[in-house]
Structure 1
Amino acid sequence: MRINFDHEIDNNPQPEEAGTITVTATIFGDDDEFDTPFTTRSHSIQDVFGCDEDEDSDCQIVRELKCFLLVEANIDDDDVIGDAMRKLVAYIDGVACFTSNSDYSLECALSVQMDLFPDSRSQIEEAIQVSFDEASNNTRFIPASKVVVKTLIRKVYKKKIEKENMKKKKKKKISLEECTICLEEFKNGGRVVQLACGHEFDEECIVKWLETSHVCPLCRYELPCEDQMN
């Protein structure tokens, strides 16, 4: 499941809203159709920091979101739900870290937007499987040219952060992206390779892939192979 997060910090909330957090979750499906967003009640943000992996100690916001994902969104995979909740808590922790560089303080009210794309992983897995099947039907995998692999452009991945100053609010947007081979989020500061077709992968994943196949695992874009370079 791919998850994108947004948040807004209200620096001048009503007194009863100071130090609180609400989370709005939206499930996106095919053709950009999505269910009605679900918004939790406002809770003290301090409750979130007491949340850990023990289900009995989940904070109220996590319990409300788990119920929404299980009942309303019909997501019954405990691993998927657990992973989504861990990412949410980590995101909140990153936003509300109480340091001199943080825009957040307990005098503010925090709103978090959580966009979930449950179909993206299955579509990626299906596309990768098609690549394996098609390559198998072509008798054997043909490795990409080692020379070409060495010349692929590597870059350091940096999380995309957009800042917009507002009179009463400050908003940040963090877009999470994944390597579609290992299905793990790109690590900030990690090395990423972008093929000519535009698809990006972890450097280690795509180099290993190209040792056995000269095509992009998603779109079948062909790189020069060893046979062509000899």
Structure 2
Amino acid sequence: MRHKLSHEIDNYPESDDAGTIRVTAKIFGQDDNSTFTTLSLAKDFIDDENEECKSKEDLNYFLLEAGITEDVINNAILELIVYVDEVTCPASIEYSPGCALNVRLDLVPDYLDDDDDSEIQEAAQVSFDDTSNIRFRPASKLVVKSLPRKVYNKKIKKEKKKNKKMVSLEECRICLQEFSNGGMVVTLSCGHEFDDECIVKWFETSHVCPLCRLELPCQDDEL
């Protein structure tokens, strides 16, 4: 069984939601009772010493009741914790203390192959919209296709005193990898830049900038 993770951040949450994480889990290939949402403080969720975190316990119990094997559950929850830790770490550009984090965990059986991806994304869209305040709406394909692109050239700075060359590292904030020299980079109107492949994939399920929530026209607005 495969699992996929995605998230959105509410920078201006209600006071009760400040600093929280809402996890919505969806198991595909099952009945209508295959969606579950749990809420806790983000810091409690990623705390390794807090083994009795109610949110993690409830999620674990839900997956067990759904017939998911313990190995798959342990792996999914571990990756979920690491994912949340990376999003909320002090070095994160998109997250700050007091934000509300919404994470979606999709579990997809192996018998649903890549040909079913469109159906999976559509089902995930509906289920997640029904169980949280986050709206995962794909961006307009025409708008995404027309976004300005450029070939990335790695910048090299020269240190005057020591006469040493220093490489200026710039990275895509989706995959957290340094831009590839000669690779294609997309620049949004807000000024944020991403790998072409990463941001195109992102806009297949969300119409907002991953960093500042700038909204692009939605695909369904064109229908």
Bigger Rg, structure 1 or 2: 1
TM-score by length of 2: 0.49
TM-score by length of 1: 0.48
- Greater RCO between the two (CA within 8 Å, min separation 6)? 1
